[in-house]
Structure 1
Amino acid sequence: MELTPAAAELLRRLREAHGPLMFHQSGGCCDGSAPMCYPDGEFRTGDSDVLLASLDVAGVAEPVRFWMSKSQFEVWSHTRLIVDVVAGRGSGFSLEAPEGVRFLIRSRLVGT
């Protein structure tokens, strides 16, 4: 799992404003298909979630944990996931929403 430079820069700004961060991606349609960024621990994970990575971001004191629902992980388990940021309105619950951007997952098949 990796971050684009734009995603890393946005995470630095969000960390400064909100403290430690986490991602969760639930799968499904609409907002559930996008990674959501929350203050660390604000989204409660459980047995139906998988911790995919603890992302190290230059300029951020602690890793940003990335959780995904097990069912979504099964679909994407053969890919390398890349967290990116694009212009546009995302979920109102994700921390980047007021910035006029949204996080997005890009993927590459493993081995390519």
Structure 2
Amino acid sequence: MSVAQVVATPEALELIERLAAKHGPLMFHQSGGCCDGSAPMCYPDGEFLVGDSDKLLGHIGGMPFYISTSQYAYWCHTQLIIDVVAGRGGMFSLEGPEGRRFLTRSRLYDDAEWRWLQDSGLAPST
């Protein structure tokens, strides 16, 4: 068994591919807070400096996806599902001019998935 902690919908993958064609390699960061900080932000790879308070959650469309450790503490029991909806993206996020924006949805892991994540050291043991 293998469980991805972050996945993307086909629509999100299509937008990622379009953005990568325009901007080159990308990276994502899911921080916490209000406004733009509550949405996944898309940057040219390396433009957003990640630090000790960020965790590499996985990759979507081949691009790294980070989450702040404080947000991860709240969302660790869920798989993040990155989707796309109509609207303007975050001010600093690359999808802003595209008329679509990334959106984070989530689902709870089932018991077997959660055990696998814990046994693999990818989730906290509680």
For the criterion TM > 0.5, the same-fold answer is yes
Confirm or deny that 1:24 pairs with 2:29: yes
Asked whether 1:6 is paired with 2:20, we answer no
The structure that has the greater radius of gyration is 2
Number of matched pairs: 106
Instruction: Please list every run of 5 or more consecutive structure 1 residues that lacks an aligned counterpart in the other structure.
Output: 58-62
Q: Secondary structure, in 3 states, of the residue corresponding to 2:47?
A: coil
Contact 2:89/2:97 (8 A) holds in 1: no
C-alpha deviations, 1:12-49, integer Å up to 9, x for none? 10000000000011111111000000000000000111
Match of 2:53 in 1: 48
Instruction: State the SS of the aligned residue for 1:75.
Output: helix
**1:54-76 per-position Cα deviation (integer Å, ceiling 9, x unaligned):** 23x3xxxxx20000100001100
Partner residue of 1:84?
A: 83
Q: Compute the RMSD of aligned alpha carbons.
A: 1.1
Q: Distance in 1 between matches of 2:80 and 2:53?
A: 19
Write the letter of the residue equivalent to 1:40. Answer: D
Q: What TM-score does the superposition give when structure 2 sets the normalisation length? A: 0.81
Gaps of 5+ in 2: 1-5, 112-126
Matched residue, 1:60: none
The structure where helix makes up a greater share of residues is: 2
Tell me the distance in 1 between the aligned counterparts of 2:108 and 2:32.
Answer: 18
TM-score, length-scaled by structure 1: 0.91
Q: For 2:20, what is the secondary structure of its paired residue?
A: helix
Task: Report if the CA contact (8 A) 2:36-2:91 is conserved.
Answer: no
User: Partners in 1 of 2:74 and 2:107 — Cα distance?
Assistant: 13
